[in-house]
Structure 1
Amino acid sequence: MVIRADGPADEYREIDRFDGGVGWIAHPDEAMQRASHVLEIDGDAWVIDPVDAPDVDDLVAEFGEEVAGVVVLSDRHARDADAFGERHDAPVYVPSFVTPELSGPSTPFSDELEDTGFEVLRAVDVPGWREAALYDGETLVVADAVGDTAYFTAGDERIGVHPMLRAFPPNSLRGLEPARILSGHGPGVLTGAASALDDAYRTARRNIPRVMANSLKSLL
């Protein structure tokens, strides 16, 4: 299994389907399990941290007559946002404190993603790593801060804090009570999400040795 697949995807795997959105993993066999999502908001589709794949536009079209915007949540998640924006003639939105390496123009936003009702949270804001999360009281969308892959989780964790953040988990996500969590890496949590997030924080430091062992195993 490769850590991160290079080149265009041949297929995608659907994840995280609920009434208001769906996700996909464009390279199902890669260890990083880079996940992308589309949310339907007021009849329009909002695409978040997309990795392109054949026929994925058909999946996106299920959640809006048109793509209102493409959102990049992390410095590290430029991914295929430019291509999606150009293909759908949609603006690329970037939180004002995040600086991904995009080839085209972007539209900054601060406290809320346009008029979608999604609040912007500063999930990680340190030199070299700036990442936002989106939260509307029900759906929490995270880039890297928490995820569900072999190198994010340990023990009974349904979702885990990023290995590099476990010693000091981000306070901005602590105590939230989402109905679902959508992550940029791996499938999200669609039931019992609030308790899963609480558990992730409760076990973050305790499970550091186990997560490091899992990460090493994934690399090897």
Structure 2
Amino acid sequence: MKGDEPDLHEIDRYDGGVGWLAYPNETMERASHAFAVENEEADADDVWVVDPVDAPGVDDLLDGLGSVAGVVVGLDRHVRDSGELAARHDAPVYVPEWMTGVTEDLGPDVDVERFGSRRADTGVEASRIRDSSVPPWQEVGLFDGETLIVPESLGSASYFRGDRERLGVHPMLRLTPPTSALSGLDPERVLVGHGVGVHERAAVAVEDAISDSRRKAPGLYAKTLASALPF
């Protein structure tokens, strides 16, 4: 953010995971997340970081979970500060094997690893939420049976949410919500790439967001237009 200094704000703390906003006052509310996985051969747990935005204090936050094993890019537009954070921790950046147009934005000295339906050695399932050219959109969801991470299709920032929604489908996907990719899951919590996650009745929040996506689209678009008017 030009002219702004990052100011780390912790969000979404749970046993084995944490999130943060590097610029808590920005409209986009870009959220980053990290989760720990037990490493039986090391003194510290492995920490996996998802779509990070860097800020002073991030390394201390991660050190509290364990040792950074890798950084995951969850959306083709969410390279963010993945390369810088990975280089600082001497860790690879992990990109889905089907995702394109990402590696060139990471820098020439970044070690890039590709992964498929399971994020290497973590027990976390990786599902293709969207892979389309219209609109251009490549997004992977991560789910370990308890925690669901959705980088972009769902969010809790104001511009995602319609009336009485805790989570909302991205405005660009309101008429084509990711029903097949996100239905039928039963997460205890949902973490998103824009805004604070949902930690209570999370499965209900996901189903409500998907099922109400089209019906609440006109109200969301009207709210967004009204917020842009100069009065």
If the TM-score is normalised by the length of the shorter chain, which range does it land in? Answer: over 0.9
2:228, 2:111 → 1: CA distance? 35
Task: Name 1:216's counterpart in structure 2.
Answer: 225
Match of 2:36 among 35, 40, 56: 40
1:102 aligns with 2:106: yes
Structure 1 letter corresponding to 2:216: N
For residue 204 of structure 2, the aligned residue among 183, 190, 195 is 195
Any unmatched runs of 5+ in structure 1? none
Distance 2:224 2:106 in 1: 29
Q: Say if 1:9 and 1:54, in contact at 8 Å, map to a contact too.
A: no
Residues 145-160 of structure 1 aligned to structure 2 (within 5 Å) = 145-160=153-168
SS in 2 for 1:168: coil
The residue number in structure 1 matching 2:91 is 90
The one-letter code sitting in structure 1 at the alignment partner of 2:52 is P
Structure 2: unaligned runs, 5 residues or longer: 39-44
User: Is 1:15 aligned to 2:11, yes or no?
Assistant: yes
Instruction: Encode CA deviations 1:154-213: one digit per residue, 9 max, x unaligned.
Output: 111111111111111112112211110010100010111001111111211111011112
> What is the rounded CA distance, in whole Å, between the counterparts of 2:57 and 2:76 in structure 1?
27
Match of 1:26 among 5, 9, 22: 22
Whether the 8 Å contact between 1:150 and 1:215 is mirrored in structure 2 is no
Displaced runs of 4+ in structure 1, greater than 3 A? 6-9, 217-220
Aligned residues: 215
Bigger Rg, structure 1 or 2: 2
CA contact (8 A) 1:72 1:78 kept: yes
Code of the residue aligned with 1:36 in structure 2: it is S
Letter in 2 for 1:122: R
Structure 2: which amino acid aligns with 1:40? A
| TM-score, normalising length: structure 2 | 0.89
Which secondary structure does the structure 2 equivalent of 1:50 belong to? Answer: coil
Paired residue secondary structure (2:142): strand
- Give the AA of the match of 2:87: E
Q: What's the RMSD between the two structures over aligned residues?
A: 1.4
User: 8 Å contact 1:132–1:142 — kept in the other structure?
Assistant: yes
Q: Distance in 2 between matches of 1:93 and 1:7?
A: 31
> Given the superposition, is the C-alpha separation of residues 44 and 95 from structure 1 closer, same or farther in structure 2, using an over 3 Å criterion?
same
User: Structure 1 residues 113, 8: closer, same or farther in 2, change over 3 A?
Assistant: farther
Pair 1:70–1:219, CA change in 2 (3 A):
farther
